[in-house]
Chains A and B, each alone.
Chain A
Amino acid sequence: MTDPMSEPMTGQKMTGQKMTGQKTTGQKTTGHGMKSPAEGNGPVRKQPLQLGGREHWRSLDQLSGTKEFRGWVEREFPENATELSDPSRRGVLKLMAASLGLAGLTACQRPVEQILPFSRGVEDTIPGKAVYYATSMPLGGVSTGLLVESNDGRPTKIEGNPKHPSSLGACSAYAQASVLGLYDPDRSQAVYRAGNRSSWGDFQAFAGPHFSNAGDGAGLRFLSEPISSPSLEAVRSHVLRKFPKAKWTEYAPLDSGAAKAGSEIAFGQQAGPRLVPRFAYDKADVILSLDHDFLGLDEPTTIPTREFSRRRRVSSEKDSMNRLYMVEAQYSVTGAMADHRLRMRLGDVRRFAEALAAELGLLPPTLRVLNNGQSKEDRWVSALARDLKANTGRCLVVAGPRQPAAVHALTYWINEALGNLGETVSFVETGKAEKPSAEAGRGTNTQPLEELAAEMAAGQVDTLVILGGNPAYNAPADFDFTANLKKVANTIHLGLERDETAVLCQWHLPEAHYLEAWGDGRAHDGTVSLQQPLIQPLYGGKSASELLAMVSSHENLRGYDIVRNYWLARWASSAGEKTWRRCLHDGLVPDTAYTVSRPKVNAKAIRAALKLAPAATSDGIEIGFYPDSGVYDGRFTNNGWLQEAPDPMTKLTWDNAALMSAATASALGVEPGDVVSIEAAGGETMMPVFIQPGHADRSISLALGYGRMQCGQVGQGTGRNAYLIRTAAGSGFLPGAEVRKTGQKHVLASTQEHQSMEGRPLVREATLEDYTEHPNFATEAVEHPPLLSLYEEPSYDQGHQWGMAIDLNSCVGCNACLVACQSENNIPVVGKDEVLRGREMHWIRLDRYYAGDPEDPQAVSQPVNCQQCENAPCENVCPVAATAHSPEGLNDMAYNRCVGTRYCANNCPYKVRRFNFFDFSEGLAEVQKMAFNPNVTVRVRGVMEKCTYCVQRIQEKKIAARADGRPLEDGEIKTACQQTCPAEAIVFGDINDAESRVSKLKAQNRDYAMLGELNTKPRTTYLAKLRNPNPELT
């Protein structure tokens, strides 16, 4: 029995695992009643599996040629997924191994085009040494600039691009996890025609004549997600010139349509440039958010978090900080950060905004009274108005995407009245506006899709080309898109997976992942960033522009040429090549930001719009629709990392639920885990109940993106589909829903079962006022006898001594650090069943506690990783000395020495140690192994693991510094969690260096050691949380 941990994962090692993995695969699949080729033709399947490492892929070439194997692999994804009677994750992973046949064929080749690494040139790449490339990831109509670590041609880790305005070095959990999506064996792997395997050749044979006969394109329609890519826009206009009668529709289930529509109302230049607001959260002293989760999921970038947290950074009791008022129905992370939070049904938010406007004298005073005039809400409005007036030009009022356009317009007006325009709010021109879509106060801009659906229903559409997106799953329920799609003669779908839309289309074409394709895109401020691939398409996918080139000009243009030619045409030919290289290297094209304009608010239009907007019906239950912290709008449903990343507030994994207040639940007579049927607008969906403290009463929040019907093995059967009741008019929220108890039960897997801190001084918190009076409140929170030791304790005053400081005042509790850590440290996904047993493996977790009134509590979030105690309780009890202390103060874990007594985990007061109860990495497909960080061991079954402060990064930088013969600089070493933290709440460094940032933070009077009274001497310490409430409201 050799020990996989004792040596690095070499080719041979992989072979060893692979062979066992495959054998079990054979059994498993037959066990599930699927035909394994082993039955048909044993040797064919077995022979290549003997081989490992590089040869492996070559051998699979012939392998995937054999009929049995192709047949076998095709059967699996995705239409036969249902054959999995029991989709236990480990079984699933074993199954996935089968699809490696079509995986790594071209895997480890570098793209043939010349691309430029961020720091070093390709030519001097040292094998085993990571190279970084700048690229960008499109999500929610915004491209975020990234730096991607590539190990020997495999992109393995995503980081933010410090130079990029939408990143500033940070990136979201979605971006972090997108690398797993790249290697997802469930991704669409081939061209399909009418459900049968086909090829790009066949498609071209069809497309050529078909589109040349399309004439002026009368019956030709294109459907894509909102495009922010200049080069793609160019291709689009080229296509539309070629087919003048063709139409192009954009649709995404989540977008900033309301904000845009709002600006159209407020500034009413339908013909003019489309104006989009930009908020400078770091300039505002007082912020009012009307249902806008700008620190969470309602913003496509992490920039608001970065800006907001700047104003929460307090170095001493003399500093000031901003104040945040939050009005919302669901408890969001923004609500958790708020100094004042008002829980309110989404439908009532408009009334609140109007009352505020009235208080500010913009609307007739009759609107001022909300309830009886004495209610909490009323006191809020007046106090708030005073606070805002007192901070004219330094305050900010924002509205969320679920709110009707009129409310957005009203906030712009209020901001103007408060003199914030040009200060904290600016409007940028994002190209020309289409015709107005402001009426009916829709959350998203669904009108174009509605028109398309109507045309499809009327049979006016002959050919529909769907470029990305999954409308069959996420189109508004009242459009009946699925049925209409069947009415279209020729349907072509380009997508990353064979999803609900793909299986309904004649043609399904595999799309290239953003890490595989050339492209470009605009940041939230308009700056263009280039998207350069790090690897050739694993499954022969193509990008949207490549496909368009194919159908419009019948030629195989490479994405590289499309993007490059587009930009070279814009630069002086002399400087062109040089600029191109510079832009690739930096990852962005300078001076491409949107132009800022100073529009005037049209008050009359806004008053009119407010009347237009539907009155909030206060009867019945209201349903709000939210993006999911894990799967977003459903595009990440097959991503194990995101599925298992606990929701920041509910801590739910692998599921969505009907979030409601305890009062609502008792009114409905339901308990947590009860499945309720929600009927609204002609649709119905089933959802398990989850009690969310602080949720508005008579309101239910649903996360989108679950309950996928056509999905990979990971996402199959997770959660329930909220789109079934999401209509165009009610894409933000839906009043008057029917909620019934069904009698069914559903077990929800939450990673935190206990919500109260039990009065223990874990997260220490004070108001800014108390802080100024008691600057040392954090350390005074616990009274304990002098901490003495039986022994003389070792001194750590020599060399580097690593430590970490986490500022609870800036941490908003987004999951970025958690997923970044998972990616950096090869942390396995364990699946719902294991999460239910408390066996999740995350090395850093976010503890969320509620305090105060159970109906309307305050919430705090605390990242907890290994505290690297100097007197580590875990080390003393390990019988085999598998965990010991390094001279640099790290609590080291020697996996290959661990026998798995689990005593250390018992004795860890912080419960940060994770145990491999099973072989969680067993049966991974070869392609999935490509996502592994080669510098971190993959742990076997039966050993303990935990946060190492990213010791591999520490060593890498130390070696680099020694090689250059220079001392390590402070901040040179960044742990994965620190690097991606949008709030810059985590700081790591040398506590022996008095000048280091971490030392300075630890020197602050807010600094405290959690459970320090146990004399564990943790190296991770926390900066106490502060709130800045309005004296009038306390």
Chain B
Amino acid sequence: MNAVENKSAENPFAESPFVGDEVEQTEITTAPEAALGEIYAAIAEFESSHELLAAVKEVRQRGYTALDTMTPFPVHGMDEAIGLKHSRLGWLVLALGATGAGCALLLQWWTGAVDYPLNIGGKPLFAIEFAMPVTFELLVLFAAFAAVIGMLSWNGLPRLYHPAFNYSRFEGASNDRFLLVIEKEDPLFEAEASAEMLRELGGANVELVEP
């Protein structure tokens, strides 16, 4: 335990899976005994997405709001169950796509008709006809960047350390386990009570995970 603390002190990523080795992993599993002050969330493990979905609905029933799940693939209906709105990414992409197209037109018009006008094959200095291909390509390019960078930043990625990694059987979340997370921020959160509730909802290996 202390060992863990020291580690985290000297290295924020100490517990992140990238630096830890087998030995540390085993230490982390002792998390449940952690003092209340240092808790990030209570995490339980479910067998299937259906059980998870059921549990989430139940927990919401009981008024919990700061919920999250960790699953190997997106579970449909989970957003509604947790009460999340649709992603706004589309608007960002639209905006940047428009910008891309605009830049392309500006570039072609300015370089061809303003900065260095040349009579080339008797064609006009600028015409929408021959400007189309480049305009379209830049539209797509900008939009694509918007989609990817927007998604990463809104997901807070890259983030190489996250408290959830401290859950002893976290690796299941990327394989065949379905984790339910009740975060400390939740007004109703009470470590033991929340943990107990998760157990009775069928959650296995419930742990109070430290940040």
A binds B: yes
Among A791, A871, A881, A886, the residue within 8 A (CB) of B127 is: A791
Docked CA distance A870–B122 (Å): 6
Interface core residue of B119, B120, B121 (most chain A CB under 10 Å): B121
B118 near A881 with CB under 8 A, answer yes
Instruction: Kindly provide the distance from the CB of B197 to the nearest chain A CB, expressed in whole angstroms.
Output: 67
Does A291 count as interface, using CB distance less than 8 angstroms? no
Q: Per-residue 0/1 for A845-861: is the Cβ within 8 Å of any B Cβ (1 yes, 0 no)?
A: 00000000000000000
CB contacts (< 8 Å) of A884 on chain B: these are 118-120
Among A790, A792, A794, A1017, the residue within 8 A (CB) of B119 is: A794
Among B118, B121, B124, B129, the residue within 8 A (CB) of A871 is: B121
Q: Per-residue 0/1 for B168-189: is the Cβ within 8 Å of any A Cβ (1 yes, 0 no)?
A: 0000000000000000000000
A876 near B123 with CB under 8 A, answer yes
Question: Which residues of chain A in 871-914 are interfacial with respect to chain B, using CB atoms and an 8 Å cutoff?
Answer: 871-876, 878, 881, 884-887
Does A86 count as interface, using CB distance less than 8 angstroms? no
Among B118, B121, B129, the residue within 8 A (CB) of A790 is: B129
CB contacts (< 8 Å) of A124 on chain B: these are none
A791 near B118 with CB under 8 A, answer no
Q: In the complex, which residue of chain B has the Cβ closest to the Cβ of A876?
A: B121
Does A793 count as interface, using CB distance less than 8 angstroms? yes
CB contacts (< 8 Å) of A869 on chain B: these are 121
Question: Which residues of chain A in 247-277 are interfacial with respect to chain B, using CB atoms and an 8 Å cutoff?
Answer: none
The range of chain B's interface size is under 10
Docked CA distance A887–B121 (Å): 12
Q: In the complex, which residue of chain A has the Cβ closest to the Cβ of B116?
A: A881
Q: Per-residue 0/1 for B102-137: is the Cβ within 8 Å of any A Cβ (1 yes, 0 no)?
A: 000000000000000011111110010100000000
B129 near A885 with CB under 8 A, answer no
Docked CA distance A987–B137 (Å): 48
Docked CA distance A870–B121 (Å): 6
Docked CA distance A789–B121 (Å): 12
CB contacts (< 8 Å) of B124 on chain A: these are 791-792
A793 near B118 with CB under 8 A, answer no
- Assuming A790-B129, A791-B127, is B119 touching A871 (CB within 8 A)? no
CB contacts (< 8 Å) of B127 on chain A: these are 791
Instruction: Kindly provide the distance from the CB of A81 to the nearest chain B CB, expressed in whole angstroms.
Output: 49
Instruction: Kindly provide the distance from the CB of B118 to the nearest chain A CB, expressed in whole angstroms.
Output: 4
CB contacts (< 8 Å) of A872 on chain B: these are 121-122
Docked CA distance A483–B124 (Å): 75
Interface core residue of B118, B120, B122, B124 (most chain A CB under 10 Å): B122
CB contacts (< 8 Å) of B120 on chain A: these are 875-876, 878, 881, 884-885
CB contacts (< 8 Å) of A791 on chain B: these are 122-124, 127
Question: Which residues of chain A in 135-154 are interfacial with respect to chain B, using CB atoms and an 8 Å cutoff?
Answer: none
CB contacts (< 8 Å) of A887 on chain B: these are 119
CB contacts (< 8 Å) of B121 on chain A: these are 869, 871-876, 885
Interface residues contributed by chain A, number (CB under 8 Å): 21
CB contacts (< 8 Å) of A790 on chain B: these are 129
Docked CA distance A763–B73 (Å): 73
Docked CA distance A862–B120 (Å): 28
Q: Per-residue 0/1 for A781-794: is the Cβ within 8 Å of any B Cβ (1 yes, 0 no)?
A: 00000000111111
Instruction: Kindly provide the distance from the CB of B127 to the nearest chain A CB, expressed in whole angstroms.
Output: 6
Question: Which residues of chain A in 114-157 are interfacial with respect to chain B, using CB atoms and an 8 Å cutoff?
Answer: none
Instruction: Kindly provide the distance from the CB of A899 to the nearest chain B CB, expressed in whole angstroms.
Output: 16
CB contacts (< 8 Å) of A886 on chain B: these are 119
Docked CA distance A874–B120 (Å): 9
Instruction: Kindly provide the distance from the CB of B194 to the nearest chain A CB, expressed in whole angstroms.
Output: 65
CB contacts (< 8 Å) of B119 on chain A: these are 794, 884-887
CB contacts (< 8 Å) of B123 on chain A: these are 791, 876
Instruction: Kindly provide the distance from the CB of A333 to the nearest chain B CB, expressed in whole angstroms.
Output: 36
Q: In the complex, which residue of chain B has the Cβ closest to the Cβ of A884?
A: B118
CB contacts (< 8 Å) of A878 on chain B: these are 120
Docked CA distance A870–B127 (Å): 18
Q: In the complex, which residue of chain B has the Cβ closest to the Cβ of A886?
A: B119
Question: Which residues of chain B in 120-170 are interfacial with respect to chain A, using CB atoms and an 8 Å cutoff?
Answer: 120-124, 127, 129
Instruction: Kindly provide the distance from the CB of B126 to the nearest chain A CB, expressed in whole angstroms.
Output: 11
Q: In the complex, which residue of chain A has the Cβ closest to the Cβ of B129?
A: A790
Instruction: Kindly provide the distance from the CB of B95 to the nearest chain A CB, expressed in whole angstroms.
Output: 31
Instruction: Kindly provide the distance from the CB of B181 to the nearest chain A CB, expressed in whole angstroms.
Output: 55
Instruction: Kindly provide the distance from the CB of B65 to the nearest chain A CB, expressed in whole angstroms.
Output: 58
Instruction: Kindly provide the distance from the CB of B17 to the nearest chain A CB, expressed in whole angstroms.
Output: 49
CB contacts (< 8 Å) of B122 on chain A: these are 789, 791, 793-794, 870-872, 885, 1017
Docked CA distance A790–B128 (Å): 12
Q: In the complex, which residue of chain A has the Cβ closest to the Cβ of B127?
A: A791
Q: In the complex, which residue of chain B has the Cβ closest to the Cβ of A871?
A: B122
Docked CA distance A881–B127 (Å): 16
Q: In the complex, which residue of chain A has the Cβ closest to the Cβ of B119?
A: A885
CB contacts (< 8 Å) of A875 on chain B: these are 120-121
Q: In the complex, which residue of chain B has the Cβ closest to the Cβ of A1017?
A: B122
CB contacts (< 8 Å) of B118 on chain A: these are 881, 884-885
Q: In the complex, which residue of chain B has the Cβ closest to the Cβ of A793?
A: B122
Docked CA distance A869–B123 (Å): 13
Q: Per-residue 0/1 for A766-782: is the Cβ within 8 Å of any B Cβ (1 yes, 0 no)?
A: 00000000000000000
Docked CA distance A794–B117 (Å): 13
Instruction: Kindly provide the distance from the CB of A900 to the nearest chain B CB, expressed in whole angstroms.
Output: 18
Interface core residue of B118, B123, B129 (most chain A CB under 10 Å): B123
Instruction: Kindly provide the distance from the CB of A891 to the nearest chain B CB, expressed in whole angstroms.
Output: 9
Docked CA distance A228–B118 (Å): 57
Instruction: Kindly provide the distance from the CB of B206 to the nearest chain A CB, expressed in whole angstroms.
Output: 64
Question: Which residues of chain A in 354-378 are interfacial with respect to chain B, using CB atoms and an 8 Å cutoff?
Answer: none
Docked CA distance A1017–B129 (Å): 22
CB contacts (< 8 Å) of A1017 on chain B: these are 122
Instruction: Kindly provide the distance from the CB of A909 to the nearest chain B CB, expressed in whole angstroms.
Output: 13
Docked CA distance A870–B119 (Å): 10
Instruction: Kindly provide the distance from the CB of A411 to the nearest chain B CB, expressed in whole angstroms.
Output: 56
Q: Per-residue 0/1 for A486-528: is the Cβ within 8 Å of any B Cβ (1 yes, 0 no)?
A: 0000000000000000000000000000000000000000000
Q: In the complex, which residue of chain A has the Cβ closest to the Cβ of B112?
A: A881
CB contacts (< 8 Å) of A871 on chain B: these are 121-122
Instruction: Kindly provide the distance from the CB of B131 to the nearest chain A CB, expressed in whole angstroms.
Output: 13
Q: Per-residue 0/1 for A712-748: is the Cβ within 8 Å of any B Cβ (1 yes, 0 no)?
A: 0000000000000000000000000000000000000
Q: In the complex, which residue of chain A has the Cβ closest to the Cβ of B125?
A: A794
Docked CA distance A715–B127 (Å): 55
Docked CA distance A1034–B123 (Å): 49
Interface core residue of A792, A794, A1017 (most chain B CB under 10 Å): A794
Instruction: Kindly provide the distance from the CB of A801 to the nearest chain B CB, expressed in whole angstroms.
Output: 13
Instruction: Kindly provide the distance from the CB of A688 to the nearest chain B CB, expressed in whole angstroms.
Output: 44
Instruction: Kindly provide the distance from the CB of B52 to the nearest chain A CB, expressed in whole angstroms.
Output: 56
Docked CA distance A875–B119 (Å): 9
Instruction: Kindly provide the distance from the CB of B29 to the nearest chain A CB, expressed in whole angstroms.
Output: 62
Instruction: Kindly provide the distance from the CB of B124 to the nearest chain A CB, expressed in whole angstroms.
Output: 5
Instruction: Kindly provide the distance from the CB of B165 to the nearest chain A CB, expressed in whole angstroms.
Output: 51
Docked CA distance A451–B52 (Å): 122
CB contacts (< 8 Å) of A885 on chain B: these are 118-122
Instruction: Kindly provide the distance from the CB of A420 to the nearest chain B CB, expressed in whole angstroms.
Output: 55
Docked CA distance A792–B124 (Å): 7
Docked CA distance A824–B102 (Å): 49
Q: In the complex, which residue of chain A has the Cβ closest to the Cβ of B124?
A: A791
Docked CA distance A886–B124 (Å): 14
CB contacts (< 8 Å) of A876 on chain B: these are 120-121, 123
Docked CA distance A353–B168 (Å): 117
Q: In the complex, which residue of chain A has the Cβ closest to the Cβ of B111?
A: A881
Question: Which residues of chain B in 55-113 are interfacial with respect to chain A, using CB atoms and an 8 Å cutoff?
Answer: none
Further pairs besides A876-B121, A884-B119: 13, Cβ < 8 Å? A789-B122, A791-B127, A794-B122, A869-B121, A873-B121, A874-B121, A875-B121, A876-B120, A881-B118, A885-B118, A885-B119, A885-B120, A885-B122
- List 12 interface pairs A-B (beta carbons < 8 Å), by A numbering: A791-B123, A793-B122, A794-B122, A869-B121, A871-B122, A873-B121, A875-B120, A875-B121, A876-B120, A876-B121, A876-B123, A878-B120
What is B's interface to A at a CB cutoff of 8 Å?
118-124, 127, 129
The 8 closest A-B pairs by CB, nearest first: A875-B121, A876-B121, A885-B119, A871-B122, A884-B118, A875-B120, A872-B121, A793-B122
